[in-house]
């Protein structure tokens, strides 16, 4: 397909002055057809022609960022938005904290910024790829719509990052933007950059866990980048956070609804056997939490990291809500870390800047603990005795200082043999996946929900639950 | 904890990293490797780098991501040497990583940052010599190294790759080759990295400039286009493709190699005896006097039996194996030189003596030369040449002392020519002879390709011409007339003059001497290898001591620390 410049500008809602930026227009003109091709190959292709009740951001104003309508996904208007800022932006952390923010790329930080942006950008199309077949086993039209909403917004997040690459990184940026469309989740030869984004996400329990735990990593990464001294990056990620909130809502409430339904089935069954009732038992839910929480912890990077220190020192990436802290240099301070030394768990103090990944992970873990408390209240209200827990951050890690050791979910060091003997109790197994796939049959009738999940408390944008969120028969 | 090849002097506090307290030994063998796996499949060998993070030679750093320290490189050097002697059937060596997602992250930064200047310099020189040995094996033993970078290949990792004939990179969207030393550490990729980019791989110098300042490096098709690698292979078929390439190269390399089945010989340990300040081998002895800051290095020439054995031909040579004088004596010499470099920091002057019978040495050389077409004869000669080059490149003053009982002839005359000065005794009561053999005619070239006689007489073409093709014994006066001798002394002057020369030398600035000797030893044109060592001495070693690298605010000192470097922007 060939679009003219004029078409493009009308097609791409934006507040970045696209119409007056011939260089950017030219770059996007080339990239857009490749993007659509990728979407067609790797997106939710089988539902391409179905109108979906989607939220589209058409401007950054209060009424503009959430515009609802039925649209076919390839016609979705992927826009480019920077969050408006009242005050003059500042560098918020590191050695230059308090100085004016950069509106162009500072040469000395160009490579680091490119790496940060490409790593973030790569996760966006990756999750679309991971989720591309889930539409075929959606538990309801409401959930199907939520899946597609997440998908198109991850697509838009890719746009947001590609905008930065095209606008600020010249030819290298264009090459990187192309490669973002060439890597494939789980591909042995061209995998996505980060581990969790190459894990299969082949049923809805994983989908909800992914949006709960992995998208939440995204939230914290975006929040840290929203503190960046590179103003366009900070404002882009700030806007992305508004959309990300919905993804987290989908994950957290999705799991909550499953937990609620399982508790109901536990009551219904004479032996309290949830599986007997076609539901998802709590052990399996716990294994799912263990699995996705820990893969998501890996995404924060090494516990002791010179990159993290450099990014912070240079003002490229802050802490969660850095702007609300009193002190922004983080020098001469230490962070106490649990480390394995000589086969034993001990504590070590590391310079705070080098521990910035761990500091961000702390904020994330706290947020996850909050969700766990909420789910346990659901269990309590439903009369179940079961309580779910978050495993230790040392458990089941594939990145960082705990990688080469074995821990139980409580975080105690164990042997490799103990791990082998127990891992089927602790993390998702192939048998789990088989069972889940066996119960996940699509439910496409408006207002109906699969047996293994409870209905949500309300619909989308004030619509009733039996609203036709996806028009499958037009 | 057992540390390979390192022992501590009693009372050393292991938390305090002071290099001077280490005794480094270079003897190792495959049963003791901690960092490499080697497997053999006919003409193709597979060398896998799998560095044990806890196997660092010194305390205070972890060898993460296949980063290396001296201990890792000592094993590599051992692999390369044994490949030639123990596995002469091998034509191609595939070098890959046995560690996930990373080929090699280069020299360990924390090790460098916590090391003394002398340690860094010694380490860099040794690693450079090993890289040159890889290329030497390709050039003279038809053992071709192919690098299969199955993961990130950074800094010293890429320099190792550059020493291989061909480089293949995994094409997975993230594995890159890079030289991040300048942008990240404020030092140079000094293990031949820069020189090999432009001289060996003939990468355009402007592109080399871009590459060497881009910390994350270059990957995929662009790496091929810029000639940084020879090809890219997909991850799923990486080893399959590399094996296929190795098989092809092995077949091409074996072409015309007509000496039948090759069976290697074993290289046993040298087991020197340490007694006080003396290290004694079978043919070599190194002793030192800490107070006078001088050492004595003595090598015993071959016996008549050694010569007779060579006369029996290739089979006898093979039977003698590592007990052969030419191999054993030069391995001992090599070990002694390394011991001097790494463990005797304050010894500035080394007095060299070759003892034995000059005529026997000349006969030995001719007999060994006659066996050069067999693989083992060739290896023995190439090994001698490498040891002599290690001598040329050692930053100690060397005075060869040709007093009574010495015999600087043939291969051992090379030691006198390699020394900074050659004093020869002219005493009719104790006649001392020197002698010329084929080994003085360029068969044991210096790093920059000249014979030591050529380098010696660089400015005296008539003398050089007069020596062309001349073989046989020379008496002291003839030696002097031929231009081989620095000072000819009679027995009355000898003792005093030598004592004064030694004391004077030992009093001069060691830094100035190192620089001066490195300049004077290599007259004539440079080549790739000599450039590598020259630039290492001149630039890398200078940068290493500059505040911008190793000062409190320097980039190397602060790497991995929370603070960012502060540079003194003045260009020097
Ligand atoms: Fe996203
Ligand atoms: Fe998301």
Is the model's pLDDT at A240 over the cut of 60?
A: yes
Q: What is the pLDDT of residue B86?
A: 97
- CA–chain centroid gap for B70, Å, is 13
Q: How confident is the model at residue B112 (pLDDT cuts 50, 70, 90)?
A: confident
Q: What is the pLDDT of residue B530?
A: 86
Among residues B101, B173, B141, the alpha carbon closest in space to that of A403 is found at: B101
Contact B562 A111 (CB under 8 A): no
B235 close contact with A: CB closer than 8 A: yes
Q: What is the pLDDT of residue A142?
A: 97
Which of residues B245 and A194 earns the better pLDDT score? B245
Ligand nearest to the CA of A236: 1
Task: Give B189 to chain A, closest Cα distance, Å.
Answer: 19
CA atoms of B399 and A337, how far apart (whole Å) = 56
Ligand nearest to the CA of A120: 1
DSSP state of A230: B
Q: What is the pLDDT of residue B60?
A: 85
CA atoms of B96 and A394, how far apart (whole Å) = 31
Contact B173 A351 (CB under 8 A): no
Tell me how far CA of residue B509 lies from CA of A96, A408, B350, B542, in angstroms. Answer: 44, 61, 15, 16
Residue of A nearest to B216 (CA): A111
Is the model's pLDDT at A4 over the cut of 80?
A: no
3-state secondary structure (DSSP) of residue B381:
helix
Do A210 and A127 contact (CB within 8 A), yes or no? yes
Task: Give A410-423 pLDDT, tens digit per residue.
Answer: 999 999 999 999 99
CA atoms of A155 and A125, how far apart (whole Å) = 6
Is the model's pLDDT at B9 over the cut of 70?
A: no
CB nearest to A190's CB, from B173, B561, B564: B173
CA atoms of B291 and A249, how far apart (whole Å) = 77
Residue B155, phi then psi, degrees to nearest 5: 55, -125
Those residues whose beta carbon sits under 5 angstroms from the ion ligand 1 are A 124, 154, 157
Is the model's pLDDT at A3 over the cut of 80?
A: no
Is the model's pLDDT at B11 over the cut of 70?
A: no
Task: Give A376-388 pLDDT, tens digit per residue.
Answer: 999 999 999 999 9
Residue of B nearest to A192 (CA): B173
Distance A251 CA to ligand 1 centre (A): 13
> What residues of chain B lie within 8 A of the CB of A351, using their CB?
561-562
Contact B561 A354 (CB under 8 A): yes
Is the model's pLDDT at B81 over the cut of 60?
A: yes
Do A69 and A197 contact (CB within 8 A), yes or no? no
A191 close contact with B: CB closer than 8 A: yes
Q: How confident is the model at residue B8 (pLDDT cuts 50, 70, 90)?
A: very low
Domains contained in chain B, CATH given: 14-254 (3.90.226.10), 273-520 (3.90.226.10)
The ipTM assigned to this model is: 0.76
> What residues of chain A lie within 8 A of the CB of B564, using their CB?
95, 310, 313-314
Which of residues B16 and A450 earns the better pLDDT score? A450
CA atoms of A234 and A335, how far apart (whole Å) = 26
CB nearest to A189's CB, from B172, B183, B562: B172
CB nearest to A111's CB, from B215, B235, B559: B215
Do B232 and B177 contact (CB within 8 A), yes or no? no
* SS percent in chain A: helix, strand, coil, step 5: 55, 10, 40
What CATH number does domain A18-439 carry, 3.50.30.40, 1.10.150.20, 1.10.3720.10, 1.10.620.20? 1.10.620.20
Contacts of A267 (CB under 8 A, 6+ apart): A382, A383, A384
> What residues of chain B lie within 8 A of the CB of A354, using their CB?
560-562
The chain-wide mean pLDDT, for chain B, equals 91
CA atoms of B261 and B43, how far apart (whole Å) = 11
Sign of CA dihedral B254, B256, B262, B265: negative
Q: How confident is the model at residue B15 (pLDDT cuts 50, 70, 90)?
A: very low
Sign of CA dihedral B394, B396, B399, B405: negative
Ligand nearest to the CA of A247: 2
Do B183 and B213 contact (CB within 8 A), yes or no? yes
Q: How big is chain B, counted in residues?
A: 572
Distance A217 CA to ligand 1 centre (A): 10
Q: How confident is the model at residue B259 (pLDDT cuts 50, 70, 90)?
A: low
The chain-wide mean pLDDT, for chain A, equals 93
Q: What is the pLDDT of residue B13?
A: 30
B183 close contact with A: CB closer than 8 A: yes
> What residues of chain B lie within 8 A of the CB of A330, using their CB?
562
Task: Give B124-177 pLDDT, tens digit per residue.
Answer: 999 999 999 999 999 999 999 999 999 999 999 999 999 999 999 999 888 999
Q: What is the pLDDT of residue A383?
A: 93
CA atoms of B398 and B421, how far apart (whole Å) = 7
CA atoms of A145 and B407, how far apart (whole Å) = 93
Q: What is the pLDDT of residue B19?
A: 54
Is the model's pLDDT at B467 over the cut of 80?
A: yes
Do B109 and B155 contact (CB within 8 A), yes or no? no
A331 close contact with B: CB closer than 8 A: yes
Long-range contacts of B545-550 (CB under 8 A, 24+ apart): B545/B117, B546/B572, B548/B186, B549/B185, B549/B186, B549/B187, B550/B113, B550/B117
CA atoms of A184 and A190, how far apart (whole Å) = 6
Q: What is the pLDDT of residue B21?
A: 65
CB nearest to A115's CB, from B171, B183, B216: B216
3-state secondary structure (DSSP) of residue B95:
strand
Among residues A13, A67, A84, the alpha carbon closest in space to that of A238 is found at: A84
Distance A236 CA to ligand 1 centre (A): 12
Task: Give B352-404 pLDDT, tens digit per residue.
Answer: 999 999 999 999 999 999 999 999 999 999 999 999 999 999 999 999 999 99
Interface test with B, best of A110, A111, A181 (most B CBs within 10 A): A111
For B571, counting Cβ atoms within 10 Å of its Cβ (0-12 exposed, 13-18 middle, 19+ buried), the class is exposed
Per-residue H/E/C for B103-129: EECEECHHHHHCCCHHHHHHHHHHHHH
Q: How confident is the model at residue B20 (pLDDT cuts 50, 70, 90)?
A: low
3-state secondary structure (DSSP) of residue A346:
strand
Task: Give A324-335 pLDDT, tens digit per residue.
Answer: 999 999 999 999
Is the model's pLDDT at B351 over the cut of 90?
A: yes
Task: Give A97-130 pLDDT, tens digit per residue.
Answer: 999 999 999 988 998 999 999 999 999 999 999 9
Interface test with B, best of A107, A174, A189 (most B CBs within 10 A): A189
Contact A352 B564 (CB under 8 A): no
Sign of CA dihedral B232, B233, B235, B238: negative
Helix (H) or strand (E) holding A31: helix A22-42
CA atoms of B499 and B492, how far apart (whole Å) = 13
Do B8 and B21 contact (CB within 8 A), yes or no? yes
Q: What is the pLDDT of residue B4?
A: 30
> What residues of chain B lie within 8 A of the CB of A115, using their CB?
216
């Amino acid at each position: 397909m060939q679009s003219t410049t004029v078409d493009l500008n009308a097609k791409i809602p934006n507040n970045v002055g696209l119409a007056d930026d011939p260089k950017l227009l030219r770059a996007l003109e080339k990239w857009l057809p490749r993007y659509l091709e990728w979407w067609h190959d790797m997106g939710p292709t089988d539902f391409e022609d179905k109108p979906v009740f989607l939220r589209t951001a058409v401007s950054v104003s209060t009424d503009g960022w959430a515009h609802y309508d039925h649209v076919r996904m390839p016609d979705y208007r992927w826009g480019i938005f920077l969050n408006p800022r009242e005050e003059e932006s500042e560098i918020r952390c590191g050695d230059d904290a308090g100085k004016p923010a950069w509106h162009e790329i500072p040469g000395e930080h160009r490579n680091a910024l490119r790496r940060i942006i490409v790593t973030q950008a790569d996760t966006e199309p990756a999750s679309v790829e991971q989720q591309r077949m889930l539409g075929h086993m959606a538990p309801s039209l409401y959930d199907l719509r939520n899946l597609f909403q997440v998908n198109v917004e991850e697509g838009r997040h890719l746009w947001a990052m590609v905008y930065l690459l095209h606008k600020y990184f010249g030819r290298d940026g264009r090459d990187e933007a192309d490669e973002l469309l060439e890597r494939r989740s789980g591909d042995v030869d061209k995998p996505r950059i980060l581990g969790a984004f190459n894990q299969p996400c082949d049923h809805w329990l994983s989908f909800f866990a992914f949006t709960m735990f992995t998208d939440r990593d995204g939230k914290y990464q975006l929040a840290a980048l929203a503190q960046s001294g590179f103003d366009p990056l900070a404002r882009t990620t700030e806007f992305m956070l508004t959309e990300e909130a919905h993804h987290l809502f989908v994950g957290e409430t999705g799991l909550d609804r499953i937990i609620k339904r399982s508790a109901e089935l536990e009551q219904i069954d004479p032996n309290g056997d949830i599986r007997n009732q076609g539901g998802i038992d709590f052990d399996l839910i716990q294994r799912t939490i263990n699995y996705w929480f820990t893969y998501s912890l890996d995404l924060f990077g090494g516990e002791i990291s010179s990159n993290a220190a450099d990014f912070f020192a240079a003002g490229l990436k802050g802490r969660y809500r850095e702007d609300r802290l009193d002190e922004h240099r983080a020098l001469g301070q230490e962070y106490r870390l649990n480390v394995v030394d000589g086969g034993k768990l001990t504590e070590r103090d590391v310079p705070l800047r080098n521990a910035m990944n761990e500091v961000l992970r702390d904020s994330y873990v706290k947020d996850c603990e909050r969700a766990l408390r909420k789910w346990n209240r659901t269990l309590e209200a439903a009369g179940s005795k079961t309580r779910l827990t978050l495993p230790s951050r040392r458990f089941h890690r594939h990145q960082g200082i705990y990688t080469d050791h074995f821990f139980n979910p409580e975080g105690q060091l164990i042997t490799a043999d103990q791990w082998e003997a127990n891992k089927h109790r602790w993390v998702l197994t192939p048998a789990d996946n088989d069972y889940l796939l066996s119960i996940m049959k699509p439910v496409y009738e408006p207002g109906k929900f699969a047996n293994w999940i409870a209905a949500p408390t309300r619909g989308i944008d004030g619509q009733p639950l039996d609203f036709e969120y996806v028009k499958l028969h037009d | 904890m057992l540390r390979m090849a390192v022992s501590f002097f009693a009372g050393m506090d292991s938390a305090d990293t002071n290099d001077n307290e280490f005794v480094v030994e270079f003897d190792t063998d495959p049963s003791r490797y901690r960092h490499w796996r080697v497997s053999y499949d006919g003409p193709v060998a597979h060398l896998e780098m799998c560095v044990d993070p806890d196997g660092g030679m010194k305390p205070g750093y972890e060898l993460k991501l296949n980063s290396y320290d001296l201990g890792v490189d000592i094993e590599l050097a051992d692999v390369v040497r044994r490949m030639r002697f123990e596995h002469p059937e091998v034509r191609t060596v595939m070098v890959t990583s046995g560690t996930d997602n990373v080929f090699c992250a280069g020299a360990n930064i924390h090790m460098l940052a916590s090391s003394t200047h002398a340690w860094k310099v010694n380490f860099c020189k040794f690693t450079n010599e090993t890289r040159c040995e890889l290329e030497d094996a390709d050039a003279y033993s038809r053992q071709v190294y192919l690098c299969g970078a199955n993961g990130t290949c950074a800094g010293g990792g890429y320099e190792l790759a550059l020493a291989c004939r061909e480089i293949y990179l995994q094409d997975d969207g993230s594995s890159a080759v890079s030289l991040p030393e300048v942008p990240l550490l404020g030092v140079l990729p000094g293990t031949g990295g820069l020189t090999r980019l432009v001289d060996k791989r003939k990468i355009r110098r402007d592109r080399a400039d871009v590459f060497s300042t881009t910390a994350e490096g270059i990957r995929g098709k662009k790496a091929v286009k810029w000639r940084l690698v020879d090809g890219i292979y997909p991850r799923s078929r990486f080893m399959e493709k590399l094996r296929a390439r190795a098989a092809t190269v092995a077949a091409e390399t074996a072409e015309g190699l007509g000496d039948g089945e090759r069976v290697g010989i074993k290289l046993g340990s040298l087991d020197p005896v340490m007694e006080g300040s003396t290290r004694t081998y079978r043919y070599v002895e190194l002793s030192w006097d800490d107070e006078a800051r001088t050492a004595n290095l003595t090598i015993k020439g071959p016996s008549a039996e050694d010569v007779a054995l060579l006369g029996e031909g290739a089979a006898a040579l093979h039977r003698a194996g590592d007990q052969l004088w030419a191999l054993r004596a030069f391995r001992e010499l090599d070990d002694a030189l390394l011991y001097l470099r790494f463990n005797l920091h304050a010894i500035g002057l080394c007095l060299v003596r070759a003892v034995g019978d000059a005529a026997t040495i000349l006969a030995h050389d001719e007999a060994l030369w006659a066996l050069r077409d067999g693989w083992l004869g060739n290896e023995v000669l190439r090994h001698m040449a490498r040891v002599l080059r290690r001598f040329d490149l050692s930053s100690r003053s060397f005075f060869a002392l040709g007093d009574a009982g010495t015999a600087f002839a043939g291969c051992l005359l090379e030691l006198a020519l390699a020394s900074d000065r050659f004093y020869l005794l002219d005493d009719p009561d104790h006649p001392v002879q020197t002698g010329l053999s084929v080994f003085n005619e360029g068969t044991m070239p210096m790093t920059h390709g000249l014979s030591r006689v050529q380098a010696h007489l660089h400015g005296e073409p008539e003398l050089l011409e007069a020596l062309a093709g001349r073989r046989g014994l020379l008496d002291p006066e003839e030696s002097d007339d031929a231009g081989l001798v620095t000072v000819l002394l009679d027995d009355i002057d000898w003792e005093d003059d030598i004592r004064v020369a030694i004391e004077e030398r030992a009093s001069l600035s060691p830094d100035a001497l190192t620089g001066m000797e490195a300049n004077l030893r290599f007259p004539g044109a440079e080549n790739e290898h000599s450039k590598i060592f020259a630039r290492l001495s001149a630039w890398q070693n200078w940068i290493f001591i500059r505040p911008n690298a190793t000062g409190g605010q320097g980039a190397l000192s602060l790497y991995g620390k929370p603070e960012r470097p502060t540079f003194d922007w003045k260009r020097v």
